[in-house]
Amino acid sequence: MPAVQSGRFRAIRAIGALILREMSTTYGRSPGGYFWAVAEPAAGIALLSFAFSLAIRAPSLGNNFALFYATGYLPFMLYFDVARRVSMSIAFSRPLLMYPPVTYIDALVARWLINTLTHLLVFVIVIMGLWMFYDLQFILDHSAIARSLIMASGLALGIGVLNCFLFAMFPLWDRVWGILNRPMFLISAVIFTPEVVPEPFRGWLLLNPLVHVVGEMRRGFYPTYDAAYLSYVYVMAWIAITMALGLALLRLYRARIMSTA
């Protein structure tokens, strides 16, 4: 039992050290630091709101463009950014992984945890800013909002862990993945709702788990939106399969990955 507790303590210390390193290198070296973590999504939402308000009279839900795009953009960026950072965990922490107390699991958990917490903070700040700026009257489903954020974070971890192995073993996959992800913003229902897409394209669209994540977020902000297409089981299956496969492959090829690091 003391050995188990000692191992857990070492893991916590390693994760804490990696988190501090992530904070200092990612947000501590650029002018503004965490300011840009909030400013970038706020600017993206403002640009979407301005552009589409010129083309259409009202968003697909409600009458506030900024809120509609925020409920799609914020969970999408949580997934996209966290998955990207988790995917680079081994490359980012490569020098520290040479020390026995630090494992690749510590690196994965540290990057996932600090970046997820950062995006949750950004989410709260942006939504509060919209509430105050537009004097919005919310009827929130807090459980739906929480589920959406959990699914986005879990999906980011699962995809990130699997890509962490693929990036380490097949460097070309980094470029391929970047190309495959370019249309993701357009096919994740960020700027529209799936109901406006005709069949059979709607069925194809729903194969993207992010559509379900965004739909759940909008259920949390729009009481009349039922998102009948939403499937928690489908999203959780994506999370479980990608995470299990990624962890299994990392464990199986750990020695080879570290020898080429």
* Pair 157, 245: CB distance under 8 Å: no
Residue 8's pLDDT is what? 64
Predicted confidence at residue 6, as pLDDT, reads 52
Token reading at 49: 């709101």
- What is the model's pLDDT at position 121? 92
What is the per-residue DSSP string for the chain?
-HHHHHHHHHHHHHHHHHHHHHIIIIISSSTTTHHHHHHHHHHHHHHHHHHHHHH-SS-SSSS-HHHHHHHHHHHHHHHHHHHHHHHTHHHHTTTGGGSTT--HHHHHHHHHHHHHHHHHHHHHHHHHHHHHHHT------HHHHHHHHHHHHHHHHHHHHHHHHHHHH-THHHHHHHHHHTTTTTTTTSSS-GGGSPTTHHHHHTTSHHHHHHHHHHHHH-TT---TT--HHHHHHHHHHHHHHHHHHHHHTHHHHHH--
List the Cα angle 61/43/51 in 5-degree steps: 55
- Residue 15 to residue 2: CA distance in whole angstroms: 20
Query: Consecutive 10-residue runs of the chain (261 residues): their mean pLDDT?
Result: 54 75 67 71 86 81 91 96 91 70 83 92 93 88 96 97 93 90 92 92 95 96 93 97 96 79 53
- pLDDT score, position 51: 84
Query: What is the structure's pLDDT at 79?
Result: 97
**Which residues have C-beta within 8 Å of that of residue 216, sequence separation ≥ 6?**
144, 147, 148, 151, 227, 230
